[in-house]
Amino acid sequence: MRLYQGDYDRETVFSEDPAAVASRWAELGAGRLHVVDLDGARDGVSANLSVVGKIASAVSVPVQLGGGIRTIEAARAAMSAGVDRVIIGTAAVENPDLAVGLIEALGVDAVIVSVDARDGYVAIKGWTEGSRLRASTVVEQMEQRGVRRFMYTDIARDGTLEGPNLPAIEELMNGTESRLIAAGGISSVKQLLNLAELGIEAAIVGKAVYTGDIDLGEALEALAQRSESPK
């Protein structure tokens, strides 16, 4: 299921069999799957771990999970379900020191902080509430606590297929030496190549692969050719 700009009243259901969909993307060459528990993100408690477990069991590629992970216990439960990375967003704003505990418990490579911004300010609780923190401020605060991987989403672009917010992503990249994953609005192979030029670690492609705007195999081939080309 996909939302439009994070609006729970504007959802599109693409399949009722998440594990089968996950298998499809893995078979087409996806090196990692990004999963969001939308119910958990909104309500603050993981609600779909059984489904996440089925997804992780159905594929041989690593799976990362966000949505409702706001305690170390919830993170450990997610890892037990088969994911190899957990993503925190709301907790990074409301309980910044949780990141320290997660890194100590799971290791720095298992922790991603999601920075989801609307008009430059971070939104929380499944994007249903705003905050007074700018995206760059959250990145800085989390880096001070040891986080080394972030995911940035421009909420206004999410689900719109209007393209990523390249200036905002470039600004974050210029202000950090940590790894950055980009999401929100990506709708073409050209946009993925543009993101690669900025030096991001990875990109989250959601709606575009379901609608066919991006052919996953074509996108992976284009990115592989770029990485093999002489600089």
CA proximity to 59, closest of 28, 93, 36, 86: 28
CA proximity to 80, closest of 47, 112, 102, 56: 56
| Structural domain count of the chain | 1
pLDDT digits (tens, 9 = 90+) for 70-86: 999 999 999 999 999 99
Query: What distance in Å separates the CA atoms of residue 52 and residue 16, rounded to the nearest whole number?
Result: 13
Quick one: pLDDT at residue 26? 95
Residue 39 CB partners (closer than 8 Å, separation 6+)? 47, 48, 67, 68
CATH number at residue 186: 3.20.20.70
pLDDT digits (tens, 9 = 90+) for 117-156: 888 889 887 677 878 899 999 999 999 999 999 999 988 8
pLDDT digits (tens, 9 = 90+) for 189-200: 999 999 999 999
Domain of 159 in residue numbering reads as: 2-228
**pTM of the model as a whole:** 0.88
